Amino acid sequence: MRAREPLVKACGLRRRVPGGDELLLDDVRLEVFPGERLAITGPSGSGKTVLLRAISLLDPVDGGIIHWRGQPVIGDEVPAYRGQVIYLHQRPALLEGSVEENLKEPFRFAIHRARRFDREHVVALLRELGRDESFLEKPSRDLSGGEAQVVALLRAIQLRPTLLLLDEATASLDPATVAAAEDLLSRWLADAPSDRALVWVSHDAEQTRRVADRTVRMNAGQCEPER
């Protein structure tokens, strides 16, 4: 039976178009429980990305609050929250430089100060995704869209986050790498089910069926339970 205390709980999130009145998020309430693999579906433009970015505190909201393990995420709680909740975009932003330099980048931030780049761990993860060590030397500007997604996934997983928010994060991968990424993420979750959760946004209905055990649907900035 799943634990009843949500890992994250978004209460009444509201976001307006900057400088306008139109609501991009309209009183959204969402809970994600430990060990859960939650899918968010809905048509293009329904607010899935806006919601994930709001939950990860990448964009400000005009109303509502996020609770993390029962505590409001405000003030001094924000940096620790940001260190545990990672948002992965379909088109990840990479720096000029090698893959390895990109993987080292997050450790420069104060929120990840307690962690260290672990090359061995990264090489093991790379192997699981069908790449060898030489991938680390590749310049980021030469990467395909799918390879950039591999880097973004590794960059996130190596930080041992608690909540991963995946926004079409495997959409550019070939089918074999998609399968490897799904397996990697399943194992990552199974390693600490009481302390981790995954949220997937995917337009691939087959993938949603494979990877999620609960689905909610966004529609015009509102979030409704689906099953």
Ligand X SMILES: Nc1ncnc2c1ncn2[C@@H]1O[C@H](COP(=O)(O)OP(=O)(O)OP(=O)(O)O)[C@@H](O)[C@H]1O
User: Which tokens go with 64?
Assistant: 């509502």
Q: Which residues ranging from 52 to 81 are in contact with ligand X (CB under 6 A)?
A: none
Q: Which one of residues 45, 79, 139, 193 is an interface residue with ligand X (CB under 6 A)? A: 45
CB atoms within 10 A of CB 205: 10
The amino acid occupying position 205 is A
CB atoms within 10 A of CB 157: 21
Q: With binding defined as CB under 6 A, does residue 92 bind ligand X? A: no
CB atoms within 10 A of CB 173: 21
Largest CA distance in the chain: 50
CA distance 224 to 1: 23
* CB of 132 vs ligand X, minimal distance in Å: 33
CA distance 42 to 27: 16
Q: With binding defined as CB under 6 A, does residue 46 bind ligand X? A: yes
Q: Which is nearer to ligand X, 47 or 83 (CB)?
A: 47
* CB of 89 vs ligand X, minimal distance in Å: 10
Q: With binding defined as CB under 6 A, does residue 30 bind ligand X? A: no
Q: With binding defined as CB under 6 A, does residue 21 bind ligand X? A: no
CA distance 113 to 20: 38
* CB of 6 vs ligand X, minimal distance in Å: 22
Distances in Å between the Cα of 190 and the Cα atoms of 99, 193, 196, 208 are: 27, 5, 9, 18
Q: Which residues ranging from 180 to 219 are in contact with ligand X (CB under 6 A)?
A: 218
Q: With binding defined as CB under 6 A, does residue 35 bind ligand X? A: no
Q: With binding defined as CB under 6 A, does residue 91 bind ligand X? A: no
Q: Which residues ranging from 141 to 180 are in contact with ligand X (CB under 6 A)?
A: none
H helices of the chain, in order, are 48-55, 77-84, 99-104, 119-128, 145-157, 175-191, 205-211
| Span interacting with ligand X, options 31-39, 45-53, 64-72, 100-108, rule CB under 6 A | 45-53
CA distance 174 to 165: 21
Q: Which one of residues 23, 37, 38, 48 is an interface residue with ligand X (CB under 6 A)? A: 48
Q: Which one of residues 7, 13, 24, 156 is an interface residue with ligand X (CB under 6 A)? A: 24
* CB of 92 vs ligand X, minimal distance in Å: 15
**Residues near ligand X (CB under 6 A):** 17-18, 24, 42, 44-50, 218
